[in-house]
Protein backbone atom coordinates (compact mmCIF):
# COMPACT_ATOMS: atom_id res chain seq x y z
CA UNK A 1 0.00 0.00 0.00
CA UNK A 2 1.18 3.50 -0.87
CA UNK A 3 1.05 5.64 2.25
CA UNK A 4 -0.64 8.93 1.38
CA UNK A 5 -1.08 12.37 2.95
CA UNK A 6 -3.87 14.66 1.71
CA UNK A 7 -3.31 18.43 1.92
CA UNK A 8 -6.48 20.52 2.25
CA UNK A 9 -8.87 17.62 3.03
CA UNK A 10 -11.82 19.91 3.77
CA UNK A 11 -11.73 21.52 0.32
CA UNK A 12 -13.90 20.52 -2.63
CA UNK A 13 -11.20 18.36 -4.21
CA UNK A 14 -9.60 17.30 -0.94
CA UNK A 15 -12.83 15.72 0.31
CA UNK A 16 -13.34 13.69 -2.85
CA UNK A 17 -9.70 12.62 -3.04
CA UNK A 18 -9.88 11.45 0.57
CA UNK A 19 -13.09 9.50 -0.09
CA UNK A 20 -11.61 7.77 -3.14
CA UNK A 21 -8.32 7.05 -1.37
CA UNK A 22 -10.17 5.55 1.60
CA UNK A 23 -11.76 3.01 -0.76
CA UNK A 24 -8.58 2.33 -2.75
CA UNK A 25 -6.77 -0.99 -2.76
CA UNK A 26 -3.49 0.73 -3.64
CA UNK A 27 -3.45 3.86 -1.48
CA UNK A 28 -3.49 4.06 2.31
CA UNK A 29 -4.35 7.28 4.16
CA UNK A 30 -1.94 8.23 6.94
CA UNK A 31 -2.84 11.91 7.59
CA UNK A 32 -4.74 14.95 6.41
CA UNK A 33 -3.20 18.42 6.72
CA UNK A 34 -5.35 21.54 7.00
CA UNK A 35 -4.56 25.23 7.53
CA UNK A 36 -3.72 26.33 11.05
CA UNK A 37 -6.46 27.34 13.49
CA UNK A 38 -9.30 25.58 11.68
CA UNK A 39 -11.92 24.11 13.99
CA UNK A 40 -11.54 20.59 12.55
CA UNK A 41 -7.83 20.22 13.35
CA UNK A 42 -7.40 17.20 15.62
CA UNK A 43 -10.53 15.46 14.37
CA UNK A 44 -10.66 12.17 12.49
CA UNK A 45 -10.15 12.53 8.72
CA UNK A 46 -13.19 10.37 8.00
CA UNK A 47 -15.49 12.78 9.83
CA UNK A 48 -13.86 15.90 8.40
CA UNK A 49 -14.33 14.67 4.82
CA UNK A 50 -17.91 13.46 5.35
CA UNK A 51 -17.20 9.76 5.11
CA UNK A 52 -19.55 9.41 8.04
CA UNK A 53 -17.20 7.24 10.08
CA UNK A 54 -13.88 7.32 11.86
CA UNK A 55 -10.98 5.85 9.91
CA UNK A 56 -8.29 6.26 12.55
CA UNK A 57 -6.42 8.95 10.61
CA UNK A 58 -5.81 12.40 12.13
CA UNK A 59 -6.14 15.85 10.61
CA UNK A 60 -3.19 18.00 11.68
CA UNK A 61 -2.00 21.50 10.84
CA UNK A 62 1.74 20.83 10.55
CA UNK A 63 2.92 18.68 7.66
CA UNK A 64 6.43 18.48 9.10
CA UNK A 65 5.14 16.39 12.02
CA UNK A 66 3.64 13.65 9.81
CA UNK A 67 5.52 13.77 6.52
CA UNK A 68 7.85 10.88 7.36
CA UNK A 69 4.82 8.56 7.54
CA UNK A 70 4.04 8.88 3.82
CA UNK A 71 5.27 7.79 0.40
CA UNK A 72 3.35 10.40 -1.57
CA UNK A 73 1.59 13.72 -0.90
CA UNK A 74 -1.50 14.91 -2.79
CA UNK A 75 -2.00 18.67 -2.58
CA UNK A 76 -5.10 20.53 -3.77
CA UNK A 77 -5.03 23.39 -1.28
CA UNK A 78 -3.93 27.01 -1.78
CA UNK A 79 -0.90 28.52 -3.46
CA UNK A 80 0.38 29.69 -0.05
CA UNK A 81 0.19 26.19 1.44
CA UNK A 82 1.41 24.73 -1.83
CA UNK A 83 4.81 26.41 -1.65
CA UNK A 84 5.36 25.16 1.92
CA UNK A 85 4.34 21.64 0.88
CA UNK A 86 6.78 21.78 -2.04
CA UNK A 87 9.61 22.83 0.25
CA UNK A 88 8.95 20.07 2.78
CA UNK A 89 8.51 17.41 0.09
CA UNK A 90 11.97 18.22 -1.21
CA UNK A 91 13.52 18.34 2.24
CA UNK A 92 12.12 14.88 3.06
CA UNK A 93 12.41 13.35 -0.43
CA UNK A 94 8.68 12.62 -0.81
CA UNK A 95 6.78 12.26 -4.07
CA UNK A 96 4.33 15.12 -4.65
CA UNK A 97 1.18 15.43 -6.75
CA UNK A 98 0.08 19.07 -6.90
CA UNK A 99 -3.14 20.25 -8.53
CA UNK A 100 -3.32 23.68 -6.92
CA UNK A 101 -3.53 26.58 -9.38
CA UNK A 102 -2.76 30.29 -9.29
CA UNK A 103 1.04 30.06 -9.08
CA UNK A 104 3.23 32.66 -10.78
CA UNK A 105 5.65 31.65 -13.54
CA UNK A 106 8.50 31.96 -11.04
CA UNK A 107 6.72 29.65 -8.59
CA UNK A 108 5.98 27.15 -11.34
CA UNK A 109 9.69 27.06 -12.14
CA UNK A 110 10.30 25.90 -8.56
CA UNK A 111 8.01 22.91 -9.18
CA UNK A 112 9.93 22.04 -12.34
CA UNK A 113 13.23 22.33 -10.48
CA UNK A 114 11.88 20.03 -7.74
CA UNK A 115 11.74 17.26 -10.34
CA UNK A 116 15.53 17.09 -10.19
CA UNK A 117 15.27 15.80 -6.62
CA UNK A 118 11.86 14.15 -6.13
CA UNK A 119 9.12 12.54 -8.24
CA UNK A 120 7.04 15.66 -8.97
CA UNK A 121 3.76 15.76 -10.87
CA UNK A 122 2.04 19.07 -11.42
CA UNK A 123 -1.32 19.20 -13.19
CA UNK A 124 -3.74 22.09 -13.40
CA UNK A 125 -6.34 19.44 -14.20
CA UNK A 126 -6.12 15.74 -13.32
CA UNK A 127 -9.19 14.66 -15.32
CA UNK A 128 -8.43 11.90 -17.81
CA UNK A 129 -10.86 13.44 -20.31
CA UNK A 130 -9.32 16.91 -20.05
CA UNK A 131 -5.89 15.47 -20.77
CA UNK A 132 -7.24 13.61 -23.79
CA UNK A 133 -8.68 16.98 -24.89
CA UNK A 134 -5.20 18.48 -24.53
CA UNK A 135 -3.88 15.87 -26.94
CA UNK A 136 -6.63 16.75 -29.41
CA UNK A 137 -5.71 20.43 -29.10
CA UNK A 138 -2.11 19.64 -29.99
CA UNK A 139 -3.22 17.69 -33.05
CA UNK A 140 -5.64 20.40 -34.17
CA UNK A 141 -3.08 23.17 -33.69
CA UNK A 142 -0.44 21.28 -35.65
CA UNK A 143 -2.90 20.85 -38.53
CA UNK A 144 -4.78 24.16 -38.64
CA UNK A 145 -3.40 26.43 -35.93
CA UNK A 146 -1.66 28.87 -38.25
CA UNK A 147 -4.68 29.34 -40.52
CA UNK A 148 -7.37 29.80 -37.87
CA UNK A 149 -8.25 32.23 -35.07
CA UNK A 150 -7.98 30.52 -31.68
CA UNK A 151 -10.21 31.54 -28.78
CA UNK A 152 -10.63 29.93 -25.34
CA UNK A 153 -13.75 30.31 -23.21
CA UNK A 154 -13.69 28.87 -19.71
CA UNK A 155 -16.47 28.84 -17.12
CA UNK A 156 -16.33 28.22 -13.38
CA UNK A 157 -18.33 28.90 -10.25
CA UNK A 158 -18.30 32.27 -8.52
CA UNK A 159 -15.81 31.03 -5.91
CA UNK A 160 -13.02 30.28 -8.38
CA UNK A 161 -10.06 32.38 -7.23
CA UNK A 162 -7.88 32.60 -10.35
CA UNK A 163 -8.73 33.74 -13.88
CA UNK A 164 -8.07 32.46 -16.43
CA UNK A 165 -8.20 28.97 -14.96
CA UNK A 166 -5.04 26.94 -14.61
CA UNK A 167 -6.53 24.38 -16.98
CA UNK A 168 -7.11 26.96 -19.72
CA UNK A 169 -3.60 28.34 -19.25
CA UNK A 170 -2.22 24.84 -19.65
CA UNK A 171 -4.26 24.47 -22.84
CA UNK A 172 -2.97 27.79 -24.12
CA UNK A 173 0.62 26.83 -23.39
CA UNK A 174 0.21 23.58 -25.35
CA UNK A 175 -1.26 25.48 -28.30
CA UNK A 176 1.42 28.18 -28.16
CA UNK A 177 4.15 25.54 -28.10
CA UNK A 178 2.73 23.95 -31.25
CA UNK A 179 2.77 27.40 -32.85
CA UNK A 180 6.40 27.94 -31.84
CA UNK A 181 5.54 30.79 -29.48
CA UNK A 182 5.27 31.66 -25.79
CA UNK A 183 1.75 32.05 -24.41
CA UNK A 184 2.77 35.26 -22.63
CA UNK A 185 3.60 36.80 -26.02
CA UNK A 186 0.38 35.91 -27.87
CA UNK A 187 -2.39 35.74 -25.23
CA UNK A 188 -5.10 38.41 -25.24
CA UNK A 189 -7.30 38.50 -22.14
CA UNK A 190 -10.78 39.82 -22.96
CA UNK A 191 -11.43 42.57 -25.48
CA UNK A 192 -12.75 46.12 -25.58
CA UNK A 193 -12.40 49.14 -27.82
CA UNK A 194 -11.96 49.11 -31.58
CA UNK A 195 -9.72 47.42 -34.10
CA UNK A 196 -9.45 44.09 -35.85
CA UNK A 197 -8.35 40.91 -34.16
CA UNK A 198 -4.57 40.54 -34.27
CA UNK A 199 -3.56 37.48 -36.23
CA UNK A 200 -1.64 34.77 -34.38
CA UNK A 201 -3.06 35.55 -30.94
CA UNK A 202 -4.98 33.34 -28.51
CA UNK A 203 -8.05 34.99 -27.00
CA UNK A 204 -9.10 34.25 -23.41
CA UNK A 205 -12.54 34.79 -21.91
CA UNK A 206 -13.33 33.84 -18.30
CA UNK A 207 -16.89 33.44 -17.03
CA UNK A 208 -17.63 33.26 -13.28
CA UNK A 209 -21.20 32.72 -12.09
CA UNK A 210 -23.26 30.80 -9.55
CA UNK A 211 -22.28 27.18 -9.07
CA UNK A 212 -21.35 26.60 -12.73
CA UNK A 213 -19.24 23.44 -13.10
CA UNK A 214 -15.87 23.59 -14.83
CA UNK A 215 -16.21 24.06 -18.60
CA UNK A 216 -13.57 24.70 -21.28
CA UNK A 217 -14.07 25.25 -25.01
CA UNK A 218 -11.36 26.03 -27.54
CA UNK A 219 -12.46 27.47 -30.89
CA UNK A 220 -10.47 27.25 -34.12
CA UNK A 221 -12.20 29.77 -36.38
CA UNK A 222 -11.65 29.49 -40.11
CA UNK A 223 -13.31 30.98 -43.17
CA UNK A 224 -16.85 29.66 -43.43
CA UNK A 225 -16.37 27.07 -40.68
CA UNK A 226 -15.08 26.56 -37.15
CA UNK A 227 -13.94 23.68 -35.00
CA UNK A 228 -14.86 23.49 -31.30
CA UNK A 229 -13.18 21.17 -28.81
CA UNK A 230 -14.87 21.15 -25.41
CA UNK A 231 -14.87 19.54 -22.00
CA UNK A 232 -17.71 19.97 -19.50
CA UNK A 233 -17.70 18.51 -16.01
CA UNK A 234 -20.81 17.60 -14.06
CA UNK A 235 -18.98 17.02 -10.77
CA UNK A 236 -15.42 16.77 -9.48
CA UNK A 237 -15.14 13.01 -8.96
CA UNK A 238 -13.32 12.42 -12.26
CA UNK A 239 -10.71 14.98 -11.28
CA UNK A 240 -10.26 13.36 -7.86
CA UNK A 241 -9.96 9.86 -9.34
CA UNK A 242 -7.35 11.22 -11.73
CA UNK A 243 -5.34 12.67 -8.84
CA UNK A 244 -5.33 9.30 -7.09
CA UNK A 245 -4.20 7.58 -10.31
CA UNK A 246 -1.37 10.12 -10.49
CA UNK A 247 -0.31 9.27 -6.93
CA UNK A 248 -0.19 5.54 -7.69
CA UNK A 249 1.89 6.25 -10.79
CA UNK A 250 4.23 8.69 -9.08
CA UNK A 251 5.05 6.42 -6.14
CA UNK A 252 6.84 4.06 -8.55
CA UNK A 253 8.85 6.70 -10.42
CA UNK A 254 12.39 8.05 -9.99
CA UNK A 255 12.89 11.80 -9.52
CA UNK A 256 11.54 13.77 -12.46
CA UNK A 257 8.93 16.30 -13.52
CA UNK A 258 5.86 14.41 -14.71
CA UNK A 259 2.46 15.20 -16.21
CA UNK A 260 -0.88 13.41 -16.50
CA UNK A 261 0.12 12.55 -20.06
CA UNK A 262 2.87 10.38 -18.57
CA UNK A 263 0.29 8.63 -16.41
CA UNK A 264 -2.01 8.02 -19.38
CA UNK A 265 0.88 7.26 -21.75
CA UNK A 266 -0.42 9.63 -24.42
Indicate which CATH number applies to the domain containing 104.
3.40.50.720
Regarding whether 93 and 51 lie in a shared domain, the answer is yes
Regarding whether 145 and 105 lie in a shared domain, the answer is no
35, 47 contact by CB (below 8 A): no
| Per-residue pLDDT reduced to its tens digit, 153-167 | 999 999 998 999 999
Q: How far, rounded to the nearest angstrom, does the alpha carbon of residue 204 sit from its chain's CA centroid?
A: 19
Regarding whether 74 and 206 lie in a shared domain, the answer is no
Domain of 110, in residue numbers: 2-126+236-264
Catalytic residue among 36, 94, 160, 265: 160
* Residue 36 annotated in active site: no
CA distances 147 to 127, 141, 222, 225, 226, Å, are 30, 9, 7, 12, 11
Per-10-residue mean pLDDT, the chain, length 266: 97 94 96 95 94 93 97 95 97 97 92 98 93 96 98 96 93 97 96 93 97 94 98 91 96 96 91
Instruction: Please state, in angstroms and rounded to a whole number, the distance separating the CA atoms of residues 110 and 130.
Output: 24
Regarding whether 111 and 11 lie in a shared domain, the answer is yes
Instruction: Please state, in angstroms and rounded to a whole number, the distance separating the CA atoms of residues 257 and 264.
Output: 15
**Strand, coil or helix: what is 65?**
helix
Q: Please state the domain count of the chain.
A: 2
pTM listed for this prediction: 0.83
89, 115 contact by CB (below 8 A): no
Catalytic residue among 156, 169, 216, 231: 156
**Residue 235's pLDDT is what?**
85
**Residue 126's pLDDT is what?**
93
Regarding whether 82 and 213 lie in a shared domain, the answer is no
Regarding whether 201 and 70 lie in a shared domain, the answer is no
Regarding whether 202 and 72 lie in a shared domain, the answer is no
Regarding whether 15 and 104 lie in a shared domain, the answer is yes
* Residue 205 annotated in active site: no
**Residue 266's pLDDT is what?**
86
Length of the chain: 266
Regarding whether 241 and 114 lie in a shared domain, the answer is yes
**Residue 16's pLDDT is what?**
95
Regarding whether 144 and 18 lie in a shared domain, the answer is no
**Residue 52's pLDDT is what?**
86
Regarding whether 253 and 181 lie in a shared domain, the answer is no
Regarding whether 243 and 122 lie in a shared domain, the answer is yes
Q: What's the CATH code of the domain at 213? A: 3.30.360.10
Amino acid sequence: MIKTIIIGPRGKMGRLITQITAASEELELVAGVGPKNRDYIGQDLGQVTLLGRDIGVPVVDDLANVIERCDVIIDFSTKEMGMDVLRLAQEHNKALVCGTTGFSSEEMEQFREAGKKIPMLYAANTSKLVNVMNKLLQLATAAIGEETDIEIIEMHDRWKKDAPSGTSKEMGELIAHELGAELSDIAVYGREGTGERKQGTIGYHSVRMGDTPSSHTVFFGGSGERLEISHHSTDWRGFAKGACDCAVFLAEQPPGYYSVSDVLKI
